[in-house]
Amino acid sequence: MTDIVAGAPTRPRRMGFLFALLAIGAAGCTLPAVVQSPLFLTLMTQAAINAVLATGVGFLVRQNGTVSFGHAAFFGLSAYATALLIKFGLPAEAAIILAVALPTLFALALGVVIVRITGVAFSMLTLAVAQAFHELVLKWRELANGDDGMAIAFPARVFGIDMATFQQPASMFLVCWVALIAVILGLWLLCRSRFGTLTLAIRENEERARYIGYRTVLPRAIIYAVSAAIAALAGLLFALYNGFVSPGTLHWSLSGEALIMAIIGGPRLVWGPALGGVIFFFIKNAAGDFTDHWPAVIGITLILVTVLLPRGVGGVLVWLGARLGGRRPS
Amino acid sequence: MVINILNGLVYGGLLYILAVGLVLIFGLRRVVNFAHGSLFMVGGYVAFTVAAYSSFWVALPVSIVVLALLGVILDRFVFRPLQHEDPISTVLVTFGLLLVLEDVVKTIWGKDFLSLAAPPLLSGTVSIVGETFPVYRLMVIVVAVLVAAGLSLWLRFSRIGLYVRASSVDPVTTGMQGVDTDRVSAAVVAIGAGLAGLSGTIAAPLMALSPSMGSFILIDSFIVVVVGGLGSFSGAFIAALLIGQVHNFGIVYIPWAASLIPFLLMVAVLIWRPTGLAGGRA
């Protein structure tokens, strides 16, 4: 049994990955044309948004070796920023850009403080941060309408695109799917870059990286901010799609679900968490009859995957692929 | 003013009893039990049910014993098998347990708020500098002080306390000296879980019982443990008193931002001392 965060992750090298990703991306884009069921497309749109969030959480595990229990903070802050900035009279376009930029900058500032804390204490801190924001929007009723949440007053057109594009499952699925593929591609390139290698080195042995002469806090804070930016993007997609935001977007159960998706899919792979997100939604669909006990179902799934498949489903696929390809599996 | 400070001590006391359990378990197993808030909640609910058939005074020990047994099971089937894995594996498994326990409680006791009355013996009030204050709340402070005193005496003077302190510093070396760390750990996790049961039971008359009561106090006790310095008993004590006070003053004077204050305090402490107030071991 191998560890979830320790050990070298599979380093993306091969161009084959690029072609596979683009092929899957293109195949996904045909989905709304093939499947007509609005229910299925709604489910897949939600799955794609959550897969983006899970990709952010998983990237932090992969690149920094730290587990965040609070990425809902950036997801929810982004959704609330969209709603509040529009409410305070900003143009929707500016609000949308700031909705990703502000949580990212906040994460960078916070990251400089909290990435110094490693291991389990880091996880506890991220959870505390997210929960503090959850309580804030819940209690500060004048600002954000508390538990009732608030509707977002989008104009009819945003960036010259009809708002309906973002609120119909068929078209929104395409937007989310393209965003997901773009995020995975971007992270893949980042992992291949010098910066990606440096952060992996810091993850493996921070002290040694410091002795070689690298600064170690800022790179990790940047990775934290990148991963938060992805979560914020997911929050923005959520806000566009639903046109509504509630404190649930900041709740730790969302952070937990995103983390569970990442663990199911395999956080050591850039694309693992996204796969986990899709699998998660199929489990959720299959568990339909047990929706009252949904938390217990995901809790048990998390325990089983952690104990039995620490590399996640993605890790198993890579292992199988390596075997079938005749290479010695690592 | 005095009343506010006392109320802060009440919350700080509850947090201390919970956080010190986390510290004990961390010392032995090097993991943080994310299900600790759920143990607190289960403690409250068990006490509620037992008290419905008997009295608060029966419910209190029963809840502690039930939770201590749960702790033994937790140690045997979660912490021990996973002790050679990455600590994150244990965190994820206890997080899964948290979800399961919350669901179990929801299924058995329902989603509605339940309340457990304070025992008649302690239901009166006393007058402190001209204002009235419930006797029950004073008792909570007394219990917290007794737990702190008892634990520090136990850790300092008993043989198993010596083992616990030794294992907290270095479990491997302690094991090499012939100490059965698995047995020590089972006892320690049982005590930690039993304290969560105690905390949940004495908190029950102060707050409504609900399936989400575990999560918010878990967050505050995490802040206590991190501010105090992960693994430090005295750090947890000081941090719990501090967080109890700022939490309470926040609720009284700036209610909308009350939840942010412990968090800001935590960030300030971490900038000042990244390993917490007691520092050093994390």
Interface test with chain A among B38, B79, B86, B93, by most A beta carbons within 10 Å: B86
Domain positions in chain A are 15-324
Percent of chain A exceeding pLDDT 70 equals: 93
B window 214-273, beta carbon within 8 A of A: 215-216, 219, 222-223, 225-226, 230, 255-260, 262-263, 266-267, 270-271
More confident residue, A110 or A39: A110
Residue with token string 């921070």:
A206
Residue B5: CB partners within 8 Å, gap ≥ 6?
B245
Q: Quick check: B258 and A124 CB within 8 A?
A: no
pLDDT of A6 reads: 55
Rank A160-174, B94-108, B263-277 by mean pLDDT and report only the highest.
B94-108
Q: Please tell me the distance in Å from B50's CA to the nearest CA on chain A.
A: 25
Nearest Cα to Cα of residue A267 among A320, A238, A227: A227
- Interface residue B208 vs chain A (CB under 8 A): no
Q: CB of B87 within 8 Å of any CB in chain A?
A: yes
pLDDT level of residue A44 (50, 70, 90 thresholds): confident
Q: Do B96 and A303 touch (CB under 8 A)?
A: yes
Q: CA dihedral defined by A151, A152, A156, A162, rounded to 10 degrees?
A: -110
Burial class (CB in 10 A: 0-12, 13-18, 19+), A324: exposed
On whether the pTM is more than 0.80, the answer is: yes
pLDDT at A8 over 70: no
Give me B37's structure tokens. Answer: 């808030």
Is the predicted pLDDT of residue A107 greater than 90, yes or no? Answer: yes
Residue B42 confidence (pLDDT): 94
Name the band, by pLDDT with cuts 50, 70 and 90, for residue B230: confident
The ipTM is 0.83
Percentage, residues of chain A above pLDDT 90: 17
Whole-number pLDDT of residue A238: 92
Q: Is the pLDDT of residue B274 over 80?
A: no
Taking contacts as CB-CB distances below 8 angstroms, the residues of chain A near B100 are: 295-296, 299-300, 303
pLDDT at A290: 66
Do residues A52 and A234 make contact, with C-beta atoms less than 8 angstroms apart? yes
Confidence of residue A108 (pLDDT cuts 50, 70, 90): very high
Q: Which of A5, A259, A303 sits opposite B86 (nearest CB)?
A: A5
CATH-assigned architecture of domain A15-324? Orthogonal Bundle (1.10)
Quote the pLDDT of residue A2.
45
**Span of A147-156, B13-22, B153-162, B191-200 with lowest mean pLDDT:** A147-156
Which of A132-136, B123-127, B187-191, B274-278 ranks highest by mean pLDDT? B187-191
Each residue's pLDDT tens digit, A288-327: 666 777 778 888 888 988 888 888 888 888 888 888 876 6
Asked if the Cβ–Cβ distance from A3 to B267 is below 8 Å, we say no
Q: Which of A120, A259, A306 sits opposite B93 (nearest CB)?
A: A306
Average pLDDT over residues A7-32: 71
Distance in angstroms (rounded) separating the CA atoms of residues A149 and A244: 7
Write out residues 63-122 of A within 8 Å (CB-CB) of B: 67, 69, 110, 113-114, 116-117, 119-121
Cα separation, A245 vs A227, whole angstroms: 21
Q: Average model confidence (pLDDT) for chain B?
A: 86
Q: How distant is the alpha carbon of residue A175 from its chain centre?
A: 16
CB contact A256 to B (< 8 Å): yes
Judged by CB atoms closer than 8 Å, whether chains meet at B219 and A1 is answered as: no
The answer to whether A212 faces chain B, any CB pair under 8 Å, is no
